[in-house]
Amino acid sequence: GWTMVNIAEEAIETVRAQVGGKRAICGLSGGVDSAVAAALVQRAIGSQLTCVFVDHGLLRKGEAEQVEKDFVAATGVDLHVVDAQERFLTALAGVVDPEEKRKIIGREFIRVFESAAREIVDVHAARSEARDGVGAAGGSGGSSPQEGHDESGEVEFLVQGTLYPDVVESGGGTGAANIKSHHNVGGLPEDLRFRLVEPLRTLFKDEVRALGEQLGLPAEIVWRQPFPGPGLGIRIIGEVTRERLDLLREADAIAREELTAAGLDRDIWQFPVVLLADVRSVGVQGDSRTYGHPVVLRPVTSEDAMTADWARLPYDVLQRISTRITNEVREINRVVVDITSKPPGTIEWE
């Protein structure tokens, strides 16, 4: 409708006015907010924007590809992908405690993002200097640092997908102190000083989704259910290993496929699938005894994730998910459903 067109055009103009000829970077999480913010800023300043996507290996099936291919295809954005899977697996080796996992994942994420941001800043600063050098060729020996600072090559802005509810939660002020603490790029160090671009600051989630559609983003990105920053790392109960991640990714993909096929995506707030990696139970398949792992289905309905109710998924949908997971995923021989509301349960198991 005309309202979203106006919001998009206005926001694009505002970003152009704010950023001018400078450069910006944006961390993509795979989630809706950062994707829409990046798409909007890309419309405003084009190749002056570089996006950074850290693949920590804890993503669901197809998510990295969605960002690397579909998002780039839809927006034409300049994307810098960091494959940090080994690094995260190594850091998580032997770790079982949920809070420790979260701390490690958060810390590694900031380190990887930070060094990628530094590289991008350095590359553009060097290009900017090279241009100065060409301009000054034949002159009396290059430009002053002050001149360099005004060059368009500098990365000065950090784009964030902060929404209106985030602004309200954090007290409504401006500046780096208000970056949500659970935000993926929260806690950037002092010596990487950016000015913030937050084009979604006045919007609610449903408006952000409408804007995303307006900007031509794929439905799989725009209508994605919320997914925690630590990803599948907190949906494996026990140590996180590559093999366990692969199992969970397969089971999770099946559950999502069947939910979508049943037309229930937008009725369900979130649908975590949890691997009880340290539990085994006896089963039988064909003529053979099996001794495999259970997965837990955790479909919930909610308004804001503060409270949630377990979702009464139709029995036939649960049946299809159970049959497919036990048939198709090696080592998973049992599927159980979590019927705990929040409170007392949380949505995630860790």
The residue ranges that bind ligand XMP (CB under 6 A) are 102, 182, 226, 228-230, 270, 305, 342, 346-348
Q: How far is the CB of 18 from ligand XMP (least distance, A)?
A: 26
Helix (H, G, I), strand (E, B) or coil at 23: strand
Strand order in the sheet with 49-55: 78-83, 49-55, 23-28, 155-159, 195-197
Nearest Cα to 14, choosing from 176, 202, 276, 165?
202
Residue (98 or 283) nearer to ligand XMP, CB: 98
Helix (H, G, I), strand (E, B) or coil at 157: strand
H-assigned helices in 47-156: 63-65, 72-75, 85-92, 98-136, 145-149
Tallying the residues shown for the chain, one arrives at: 350
Pairing mode of beta strands 281-285, 288-297: antiparallel
Q: How far is the CB of 58 from ligand XMP (least distance, A)?
A: 11
- How many CA atoms lie within 13 Å of 189's alpha carbon, on the beta-carbon side? 12
Is 143 flagged in the annotation as binding?
A: no
Residue (28 or 44) nearer to ligand XMP, CB: 28
Sign of CA dihedral 81, 85, 86, 92: positive
Is 34 flagged in the annotation as binding?
A: yes
Residue (118 or 342) nearer to ligand XMP, CB: 342
Q: Is the distance from CB of 11 to CB of 42 less than 8 angstroms?
A: no
Q: How far is the CB of 30 from ligand XMP (least distance, A)?
A: 11
DSSP letter at 47 equals G
Q: How far is the CB of 63 from ligand XMP (least distance, A)?
A: 14
Q: How far is the CB of 171 from ligand XMP (least distance, A)?
A: 19
Is 170 flagged in the annotation as binding?
A: no
In angstroms, rounded to a whole number, what is the distance separating the alpha carbons of residues 340 and 229?
23
Q: Is the distance from CB of 37 to CB of 161 less than 8 angstroms?
A: yes
Residue (30 or 292) nearer to ligand XMP, CB: 30
Q: How far is the CB of 27 from ligand XMP (least distance, A)?
A: 13
Is 31 flagged in the annotation as binding?
A: yes
Q: Is the distance from CB of 154 to CB of 160 less than 8 angstroms?
A: no
Is 29 flagged in the annotation as binding?
A: yes
Residue (128 or 184) nearer to ligand XMP, CB: 184
Residue (18 or 162) nearer to ligand XMP, CB: 162
Is 304 flagged in the annotation as binding?
A: no
**Binding-site residue positions:** 29-35
**Binding-site residue positions for ATP:** 29-35
